[in-house]
Amino acid sequence: MTAALEHQVHEEEPHLSEAAGGGPQDAVVLDGVTKRYATGTLALDGIDLRVARGEFVCFVGASGCGKSTLLNIISNLDQATSGSVSVVGHPALMFQEHALMPWLSALDNVALPMRLAGVPKGKRLERAQALLASVHLGDIADKRPHELSGGMRQRVALARTLATEAPVLLMDEPFGALDAMTRDLLHDELESVWRARGLTVLFVTHNVREAVRLADRVILLSSRPGRVVQEYRIDVPRPRRLEDPAVGQATAQITAALRKEVARHGD
Ligand SMILES: Nc1ncnc2c1ncn2[C@@H]1O[C@H](COP(=O)(O)OP(=O)(O)OP(=O)(O)O)[C@@H](O)[C@H]1O
């Protein structure tokens, strides 16, 4: 068996590869992406996906359906067994665990990607300060992570993710551990940065309502192996709130489909 494996990153004025079937409007194109781990687990089976530039896509699915595997492959942290992946620019990845450097201040944590990219000190600190202000943390720049609440740390992590200037954000349950109020606030902040910068966001969550609150499109994955079961275009007008009746309706519809998927696998 031969594995046709391809992962392309397009640096500038990218056009996506013909191999992955992309066009100039696409930010991410997956063509027949399959992942079998060395243990034999078939985590993803022939995923075809096309995400337009500026689109906000959320993935939901039962535990173990391969959502994290998918993001890892798109970010090139892991490789597909077969299929092709094409991404515009170098995506930034944000996890549920904020992974801030405990010895650095909030400001220096946000400035870190720019430091690694060789941005001069004055410029990167100025930019980091502006990013902290954009997530309403302009006044805690000198604090270190242990002095901040969980929600504040996750906002610092969001500011640091944005400091990479990546055109594509890959977010794996980034707000999963937060209380409802903080999560609400971060939805607003993420949405406003997404719109202002024209970012493309691929966002994994277990929370269907959160997916509907944020997404232009929700993709439901099945488990063992992970496949696209259904896609839902969310045309509820923005700004949305988690408690909007229209958000509730779409949530109920997708949750019913998700329940069926979970029941099919008995988990
Ligand atoms: N490094 C690995 N080696 C072997 N199997 C793995 C590895 N990582 C994940 N898997 C398996 O692949 C499948 C998909 O895992 P993955 O973590 O991508 O799912 P997920 O949808 O993100 O799960 P969750 O929602 O629980 O975070 C699971 O059956 C998991 O056990």
Per the listing, tokens 């941005």 go with 119
Nearest-CA residue for ligand 1 atom 12 is 43
Q: In this model, does residue 229 exceed pLDDT 90?
A: yes
Tell me if 214 is assigned to some domain.
yes
Residue 24 binned pLDDT confidence (cut-offs 50, 70, 90): confident
79 in the same domain as 174: yes
Is the CB of 41 within 6 Å of ligand 1? yes
CA 118–ligand 1 middle distance (angstroms): 35
Ligand 1 geometric centre to CA of 78 (Å): 12
Model pTM above 0.95: no
CB of 3 shorter than 6 A to ligand 1: no
Worst-scoring range by mean pLDDT, 4-18, 151-165, 230-244?
4-18
78 and 105 in a single domain? The answer is no
Do both 145 and 244 map to the same domain? no
At 74-89, the pLDDT tens digits run 999 999 999 999 999 8
Residue 6 pLDDT grade (very low, low, confident, very high; cuts 50, 70, 90): low
Mean pLDDT of all residues in the chain?
89
With a 6 Å cutoff on the Cβ, whether 68 touches ligand 1 is yes
Does 192 reside within a domain?
no
CATH of the domain at 36: 3.40.50.300
Domain of residue 266, residue span? 26-91+170-179+202-267
pLDDT band at 182 (very low <50, low <70, confident <90, very high): confident
Q: How many helices (H) and strands (E) does the chain have?
A: 7, 10
How many whole angstroms from 222 Cα to the centroid of ligand 1?
13
pLDDT at residue 15, as a whole number: 32
pLDDT of residue 138: 93
Last residue of a domain, one of 142, 165, 188: 165
Q: Using an 8 Å Cβ cutoff, are 229 and 70 in contact?
A: no
C-beta separation of 49 from 226 below 8 A = no
Q: Do the domain assignments include residue 225? A: yes
Expressed in angstroms and rounded, the spacing between residue 42 Cα and the centre of ligand 1 is: 9
Helical H segments across 39-92, by residue range: 67-74
69: in domain: yes
- The answer on pLDDT for 96 being more than 90 is no
Contact 197, 238 (CB under 8 A): no
Whether residue 257 sits in one domain with residue 212: yes
The pLDDT of residue 2 is 39
69 alpha carbon – ligand 1 mean position (Å): 6
Q: Residue 54 and residue 168: Cα distance in Å, rounded?
A: 9
- Same-domain pairing of 175 and 252: yes
- Give the pLDDT of residue 60: 96
* Atom of ligand 1 lying closest to residue 66 CA: 18
Q: Where residue 263 falls among pLDDT bands split at 50, 70, 90?
A: confident
Higher pLDDT, 81 or 224: 81
Residue of 33, 44, 59, 68 with the most ligand 1 atoms within 8 Å of its CB, for mutation: 68
Q: Residue 267 and residue 262: Cα distance in Å, rounded? A: 6
Residues 41 and 82 in one domain: yes
Q: Is the CB of 40 under 6 A from ligand 1?
A: no
Structural domain contains residue 206: yes
- The 10s digit of each residue's pLDDT in 100-151 is 999 999 999 999 989 988 999 999 999 999 999 988 899 999 999 999 998 8
Total domains, the chain: 2
Mean pLDDT along residues 177-188: 87
Same-domain pairing of 250 and 175: yes
| Strand arrangement, sheet containing 82-88 | 5-10, 82-88, 26-36, 42-52
Torsion of CA 114, 115, 121, 125, to 10 degrees: 50
Statement to judge: residues 35 and 64 lie in one domain: yes
